[in-house]
Every structure is written in structure tokens, then in C-alpha cells.
Amino acid sequence: MIFEKVKERISDILGVDADEVTMESSFMDDLGADSLDVVELIMALEEEFEIEIPDEEAEKIQTVGDVVEYIKEHTDM
């Protein structure tokens, strides 16, 4: 559920096929994101899931799995 929503936003923002996105995908190495894309994506996810990802946590996010895990831990979904 979370993964599906995250995938949708990634596909939107990074302009990649949703099918290409897996839990293991690295934003920068696999999905062609640069540092600005990652910031934009995190902002969009914060808004969508009504959470706040602090900068020091955001810096650790490398893969789609990292962000899905973070959202799982910080929401009731």
C-alpha cells in the first residue's frame, strides 16, 4: 500500500516507469535522480503521508526501501 503510493510519486517526479521502481532501487544510481530531485520527492512524500522527515534522516535515504520503511515506522498505515 505504502509502496504503491510511493512508487506513483516517484514515477511522477522522476519521470520513470512505475514498473521500474522496486524496493531495492537506488534513487541516484538506478532512477536517475539528482540531489534536488530527492529533496523534491521527500517533500512530496511528507505532504502525502503527513509526516516530517528531519534533514538528518533524509540524508540517510538512498533507496526506495529506505523511504518506505521510514514511512511505515512513522505512520499508522
Partner 1 sequence: MKKRVVVTGLGVITSLGKDVELFWNSLIEGKSGIDVIERFDTSELGIKIAAEIKDFQPENYFDKKEARRMDRNTQYGLAAALMALKDANIDLEKINKDRLGVILGCGVGGIETFEDQMSVLIEKGPKRVSPFFIPMMIANMAAGQIAMSIGARAINETVVTACASGTNAIGDAYNAILRGEADVIITGGTEASITPLAISGFSSMKALSTNNENPKKASRPFDKNRDGFVMGEGSGILILEELEHALKRNAKIYAEVVGYGTSCDAYHMTAPDPEGSGAALAMKKAIEDAKILPEDVDYINAHGTSTGLNDKLETKAIKAVFKENAYNVAISSTKSMTGHLLGAAGGVEGVVIALAIKNNIIPPTINLEENDEECDLYYVPNKAVEKVVNYAMSNSFGFGGHNAVILMKKYE
User: Of these residues, 34, 37, 55, 66, which one is catalytic?
Assistant: 34
What helix, strand, coil percent values describe the chain, rounded to 5? 60, 5, 40
Query: 63: which strand partners?
Result: 26
Q: Which residue has the cell 503521508?
A: 49
* Residue 20 binding partner 1, by CB under 8 A: no
**End-to-end C-alpha distance for the chain, whole angstroms:** 8
Q: Tell me: does residue 1 bind partner 1 (CB under 8 A).
A: no
Confirm whether 30 is a catalytic residue.
no
| 47 touching partner 1, by CB under 8 A | yes
Q: For residue 75, give the DSSP letter.
A: S
Q: Which of 18, 28, 43, 51 binds partner 1 (CB under 8 A)?
A: 43
Q: Which positions are annotated as active-site residues?
A: 34
Residues of this chain that bind partner 1 (CB under 8 A): 13-15, 32, 36, 39-40, 43, 46-47
